[in-house]
Amino acid sequence: MRTTHRELTGWGRTAPSTATVHDVSADELAPEIIQRLVTPRGIIARGLGRAYGDSAQNAGGAVLRLGPGPIHLDAAAGTVRVGAGVSLDELLRHVVPRGFFVPVSPGTRFVTVGGAVASDIHGKNHHVDGSFGAHVEAFTLLTADGDQRVVTPQADPDLWWATIGGMGLTGVITEAIVRLLAIETSRCIVDTERVPNLDSLLERMESGDHRYRYSVAWVDLVASGSNLGRAVLTRGDHATSAELAEYDADGAADPLAFAPPSLAKVPQGLPNLLSRPAVRAFNELWYRKAQREHRSIESITGFFHPLDMIGDWNRLYGRPGFLQYQFVVPFQAVDTLRSIVATVADSGHASFLAVLKRFGAESGGMLSFPTPGWTLTLDLPAAAPGLGELLADLDRRVLAVGGRHYLAKDATTTPEVIRAGYPRLDEFLQVRRRVDPHGWWVSDQARRLDLL
């Protein structure tokens, strides 16, 4: 075990706090370790630091970082038993050459399996396959009393659904059994189309998403007027062997090859490179670059994780960092979605990374974010004047129509906003207090949002 005292932030690089960080290997994770490492300020688990806000920080307390563990693939059953400290990058490198893919992938491979369960991550396929927790068969949870419990939805449903999406506040997930998706190739067949405005985009997604496993739209949140909400809509699925042979004969020679590229790394100390003029220029280029309609073969990295090819891309926002703001509103609240897009476009706040997806059914997690509706994600420079007022206004609109905000992205909301968006919060708190009566599992976010 390696112990250091250091400053931590989320991926947005805002709200730094200092904690005692314990890097523990899977072999060292004995049941009594929590009692040994916990402080009066508590302890929280941390993966690779890709939550955008303060959910994996613990000011003045302890932080536990679990190292990679084993990966045991059961090809016949289509499942994998995997250590919670294993990243999706490591897992994909193991299973893709053997003909499998993770059931749900976010926009980065650099999250841990434990973090995927604790955040109940979602991807471009939520409208078809749901969130990550829907594909977990069991997990092992190290609770505050030192007990290592094998939890299933049948054996302890309350603890199961409090932990799925529970942001690490019920204990440390040490291992999980996950159902995988069988694939024939490591490529994706992708349809891309340029869409002139938001109304056209919503119509295309409503009428056509059911034909694709994966669907996501990049939305230009600088454009306004008749171009409001113009977008590049990208939808696809895993390519079959026949499709790969048709579109990439050379690639068909090694259909399951998987070697994610790394093209560049952003240096430290840069100023904010994503000013409104810069974002406007980027958005114009990105929109014009997309053909009106186009089918292609793309790699897993190109389709699912394009920003992973740029190391430390979060430094593009300069020292103040950025906020990633994600909400969901019900499908019938399309007017609210439209008004939010118009408000952001008119506000002067620039986002080069804004994506729209459609969510399917809820997972059942008490604090799990996805619920049927439209979800919009946008990145915004944290130091932009008036940003707090803008986001508070958006919060009110989201809540007024029964929406909610994603805890794994949040850095700005209030206890009242979360309580209004998560009607099962009291259920979660009851379970949390049952398995952690002394309140040992605690994070900066938990204090800020009164999740204790």
Q: What is the pLDDT of residue 250?
A: 85
Q: What is the pLDDT of residue 150?
A: 96
Q: What is the pLDDT of residue 452?
A: 93
Q: What is the pLDDT of residue 286?
A: 82
Separation in Å, CA 281 to CA 88, 217, 226, 289 = 33, 19, 18, 12
Q: 334-347 and 198-208 are packed helices; what angle lies between their axes, rounded to 10 degrees?
A: 140
Q: What is the pLDDT of residue 350?
A: 75
pTM recorded for the entire structure = 0.96
Separation in Å, CA 408 to CA 7, 36, 133, 170, 288 = 19, 28, 15, 16, 32
Q: What is the pLDDT of residue 285?
A: 84
Q: What is the pLDDT of residue 13?
A: 96
- The answer to whether 23 and 67 have CB atoms below 8 angstroms apart is yes
For 257-296, write each residue's pLDDT tens digit: 999 998 889 999 888 888 888 888 888 888 888 877 899 9
For 191-204, write each residue's pLDDT tens digit: 999 999 999 999 99
Q: What is the pLDDT of residue 281?
A: 87
Q: What is the pLDDT of residue 262?
A: 86
Q: Cα–Cα distance between 58 and 210 in angstroms, integer? A: 42
Structural domains of the chain, ranges and CATH numbers in brackets: 187-261+271-413 (3.40.462)
β-pairing, 100-101 with 181-182? antiparallel
Q: What is the pLDDT of residue 158?
A: 98
* Residues in the chain where the model's pLDDT stays below 50: none
Q: What is the pLDDT of residue 183?
A: 98
Q: What is the pLDDT of residue 145?
A: 86
